């Protein structure tokens, strides 16, 4: 954990308020990654079993961008989390 990132008022000390703010940010990032992963899986499931092929053909270009965006969020979270533990 980088103390410069946590120390919001740059006084060289980390108080409880600053630590709580850092933990909230980390929790929100984790939730965003989980929601993106669930959205990826559930949308694939819905398209495979609930939506007809003719409708999928109409939105296939948009779906590509949708999956790339959600996959990027999940991948960035996993990559940055791994990098931060190695730091």
> Model confidence over 39-71: pLDDT tens digits?
999 999 999 999 888 999 999 899 999 999 999
Residue-level pLDDT at 5:
62
Query: Which among 35, 44, 79, 49 has a CA at the least distance from the CA of 64?
Result: 44
Rounded Cα–Cα distance for residues 51 and 4 (Å)? 49
Residue-level pLDDT at 12:
66
The domain limits of the chain are 3-86
Token pair belonging to 10: 């740059």
Q: What 3-state DSSP class applies to 27? A: helix
- The mean pLDDT of the chain is 85
Q: What is the mean pLDDT of residues 14-24?
A: 75
- For the chain, the first-to-last Cα distance in angstroms comes to 8
């Amino acid at each position: 954990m980088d103390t410069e990132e946590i120390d919001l008022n740059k006084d060289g000390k980390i108080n409880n308020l600053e630590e709580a703010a850092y933990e909230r940010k980390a929790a929100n990032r984790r939730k965003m990654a989980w929601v993106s992963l669930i959205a990826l899986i559930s949308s694939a499931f819905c398209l495979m079993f609930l939506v007809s092929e003719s409708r999928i053909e109409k939105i296939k270009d948009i779906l590509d961008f949708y999956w790339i965006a959600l996959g990027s969020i999940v991948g960035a979270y996993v990559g940055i989390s791994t990098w931060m533990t190695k730091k």
